A and B are shown apart, each in its own frame.
Chain A
Amino acid sequence: MIKYFLTIFIFIISSKTFAQLDSIQQLKLVNLNSVKLYQHSKGYKVISLNDSIILKNTESFTSLLRFNSPIYIKEYGSGGTSSASFRGTSASNTAVVWNGININSINNGQIGFNALSVNLIDNINVRSGGGSIEFGSGAIGGTVHLNDQLHFGNYLKNQLVSTVGSFDTYNNLYKFSFGSEKIAAKFGVSYNKSDNDYKWLGTDNLKNENGAYDNLSFSLGFAYKLNNFSKLSIFSTKYKGNREFSGTLPNPSAAKEKYKDLNFRNLLEYSYHKNEFTHAVKFAYLTQEYRYFADKKYDDYSFGKSKRYLLKYDFNYKISPNSIVETFSELESVFGKTDQIEEKNRKQFSQSLIYTQQIENIASINAKIRKDYNSDYKIPFVYALGAELKPLRNTFIRLNGSKNYRVPTYNDLYWPALGNLDLIPESSLQGEFGLGYKTDEFKLDLGVYYINSKDKIVWTPGVDPEKPNDWTPINVAEAVNKGIEFTAAVNKNINKHLFNFTLNYSYTIAKDKSTNNYLTYVPKHLTNGNFSYTYKRVSAFYQHLFNGKVYTTTDNLNNYTVPYYNVGNIGVDYKLIQKENKDLSFGVKVNNVFNKEYQVLPSRPMPNRNFNININYKF
């Protein structure tokens, strides 16, 4: 036995490759969040959406994810409130992570996917499966990562993308980036607006009234190499959005709600990397505010506001070229209030540890643990283990298991007279097994998972029998989610004809354990596919979404389902200029090309066929 371990140990020591790659990344790249994500995702499925994919769905973050990820997104009419369900879990069980920081709202634990512009984000990753060790509360179904990317080196780039479309829709962005040996900088601004007054198909000339939106966002990144070992960087982004909330059948003209979002996120980082050690000290300041106007004609609004301060220290020690131990310490102070809840402060300290082991050409393993200390409630100790095995050339086996949690929100805890201070965090145990095949041209991944969630926080009527119509949050529900996820990607170049195809399919069974009924708003079948073809200066693409029917009632009545739908978008791009440092393309896109009538949520028709033209100029 000892001999066996010794052999493995020697084997580990003798491997080099892993170390070299890491050093190069450390030197050139400023923001390592995306690299780290892959490093910490052994045994998990991660898909990556680069800027060319992001720019195909500039209209909203919602539609970007809907057509390119395995996430089902509930949307209260196009552009309205939008929340995710990843693997059939609830809206607060998908964490959105900006440059490594969980940005789910402290008021309701969710992210509004239409209250976030991602056009300026350089890279988006979607990871299926739990991630509370790295990303904290809400990382149960999966995580969505928004990463800024910046690197040193000599370059100067500009990019302008402008889209004009139906319903007076304008999506514009400008990005500038600059790099030298010591400095890397970028700046971006994006402005989107739309009347969004699309026709409601299947009705007698009804329109999506009161659906207009506009949003403006800025992003800034700057890094300075202090010396060969250390660098300083800052990332900042600001978002201001106005949205109206459209109405429902049969009378959209009754709608009058309005919503404003203001987000401001800043991250300052100092990192030092020498030999086997890396230290990073990070300070983040984030604010989030929403204002809800029940009637846009009046100035009265209800609001939620939060301020968060985070101090992080990441330490990385390379024990050997094939094994790394990392620790992550985080101190957080959150101030939150709403028009109903006076300002409350919540403090948290968390400590996590990740151990990564490579066994050359055979396996990569992550073992992770985390413990949180929170001023308001106890958070369970969480752990995870992930492994990727490579038994044969081009094939891999994925395995992961983890415990994750979701903390009660400010609303759950402090809502006047109804909030419940005795709540404990929801927790879930999950496991996943996957098989894959990967070459330069093909990638296939088939996985099965199982999630068991308990102490789920549900606002329940009649908890107090004397007040049957009062709703109170309690830790009550248990749910089991299981399913199959399949991803395929093909990249083929036949005599300069480039073909690219990606497919996501998910089969999801999510049930309430007490009733054995299906959870509402979870499609059993969900598929999206993207096909693109490029030849010389011309490229064309088609996006398709099949969304299976969903139950809307907890007793799973067939009279109340939202039927399945198919919707497709098509686009063509032509490159007018294609030079080394100048690139101008012109494109046309048709959304809902078959003019299908469909609804994501009942009574709220989605857009009919619509068009846009766009230019993309890189110089």
Chain B
Amino acid sequence: MKISKFLLSLFILSTIFVSCDDDDEPQLPKGDYENGLIISGEGTFSGISGSTYYVSNDYATTESLIYKKVNNEDLGIFVQSIAFDDSRAFIVVDNANTIAVVDRYTFEKVGAITTGLKKPRYMTIVGDKGYVTNWAEGEYGADVDDDYIAVVDLNTLEVTNTISVSIGVERIIATNGKLFVSHKGGNGTNNIVTVINIATEATTEITVNDLPDDLLIDNSGNLVVLCEGKAAWTGNETPASIVKINTSTNAISSELEFEAGVHPSALASSSSNLYYNIGNKVYEVSQSATNLPTSEFLDSSVTTFYGMAVNNGELFVLDAKDYASESDIKVFDMATKSNTQTVKGPINASKIYFN
């Protein structure tokens, strides 16, 4: 006993000495799931819970079902998206009306937001507040105009306030003291982007093409919106577009409209380019371009294109395959356009985050 205690104190002393040698604090590992990808999968209608997978940065390790493994419980159906603050990850589960809160590096559950949410979709974080888009009531063919943004106090994990907005909320992004919300339409279709002044919570609406979904901020600080347009099967097909909005004036600064019958579904950006897909093909367009490209950047050759991300010279395509087996995460080197890695992801993997 005594010896081990002595050894322990010696060890502690030595680390202090060692660390004192250096000017920098030692980088102790923050958890098992640092330095890698976090991939979220929605789960299935038949009851397979949504889940999260971890893939290390060198692609050597894939760990499945990390939330379940650490916390011995399932997230629920359907895991829609994840938001992160410095230390935590907020996993949004829409049909479960829940946001599971975990340590972003260990994935240990630190809490959950279970009241005040109704079909939560996406969350963004500003300071110690989270803003969550909610579809609220209604279903396909019978939607109800009661969508809202839930304002979450991130210290207490409680919904403290709601901001009422138009129907069909989807993504949310914060910049310039404002929140931008795309209204894809929820169970129906819509064509607006709502701007919310964070300080006053006052809202204004910008009309764009039908089904605005992905949002990102480009390198000149503009909001980029991907509008998918209504598909042919709706009986009222409309064109898709990439819309840029000046985040100071809320004015549309440019619009790249797609030819009829073409419907992109995902948008990502590198430092100078935008990437979108049409079917399995990924296209590259400069952030300052005034025309859309005619030929593709690469062909992902996946079965079911279900999500896309760009990071550090690599492009990731999520292949949900038959919606009833593990997804493939295909990694492409953007310089060579070659498929360098393919790793496994959760069932119906739709989002990828870099931790």
Contact = CB atoms under 8 A, between A and B. Distances in A.
B142 A554 contact: no
Chain B interface, >50% SS class: loop
Contact of B325 (A248, A254, A300, A557): A557
Contacts of A470: 231, 233
Contact of B142 (A247, A295, A553): A295
B280 A468 contact: yes
A300 B233 contact: no
Contacts of A295: 137-139, 142
Contact of B47 (A301, A559, A603): A603
B46 A602 contact: yes
Contact of B76 (A76, A251, A416, A466): A251
A467 B73 CA distance: 36
B95 interface: yes
Nearest to A74: B46
B74 A339 contact: no
A462 B277 CA distance: 14
A248 B144 CA distance: 23
B201 interface: no
Contacts of A416: 233, 235
Contacts of A301: 142
B325 A554 contact: yes
Interface string B124-148: 0000000000000111111010000
Contact of B305 (A339, A469, A601, A602): A469
Nearest to A202: B73
Interface in A423-465: 460-462, 465
Main secondary structure of the interface of A (DSSP, over half): loop
Contact of B322 (A248, A298, A460): A460
B77 interface: yes
Given A560-B347, A603-B76, A467 B231 contact: yes
A253 interface: yes
Contacts, number: 119
B279 A602 contact: no
Interface string B306-342: 1000000000000010111110000000000000000
A249 B46 contact: no
A295 to B, nearest CB: 6
Interface residues of B, number: 45
B48 A602 contact: yes
Residue of B138, B144, B325 with highest tally of chain A CB at under 10 A:
B325
A603 B231 contact: no
B137 A462 contact: no
Contacts of B278: 466
Interface string A549-570: 0001111010110000000000
B303 interface: yes
B138 A298 contact: yes
A361 interface: no
A553 B347 contact: yes
Interface string A577-619: 0000000000000000000000001111000000000000000
A302 interface: yes
B65 A250 contact: no
B182 interface: no
Given A300-B141, A554-B324, A467 B279 contact: yes
Interface string B209-247: 000000000000000000000011101000000000000
A469 B304 contact: yes
B52 interface: no
Contact of A251 (B97, B235, B322): B97
A249 B76 CA distance: 6
Contacts of B96: 247-248, 250-251, 254
Contacts of A467: 231, 279
A418 interface: yes
B98 interface: yes
B194 interface: no
A123 to B, nearest CB: 33
A392 interface: no
25 contacts: A76-B47, A247-B96, A248-B76, A249-B76, A250-B76, A251-B98, A298-B138, A300-B142, A302-B140, A416-B235, A460-B322, A461-B304, A461-B322, A462-B303, A466-B278, A468-B280, A468-B302, A469-B306, A470-B233, A553-B325, A557-B326, A560-B347, A602-B47, A603-B77, A604-B47
Given A251-B98, A552-B48, 11 more contacts: A250-B98, A251-B96, A295-B139, A295-B142, A301-B142, A416-B235, A465-B279, A469-B304, A469-B305, A552-B47, A603-B77
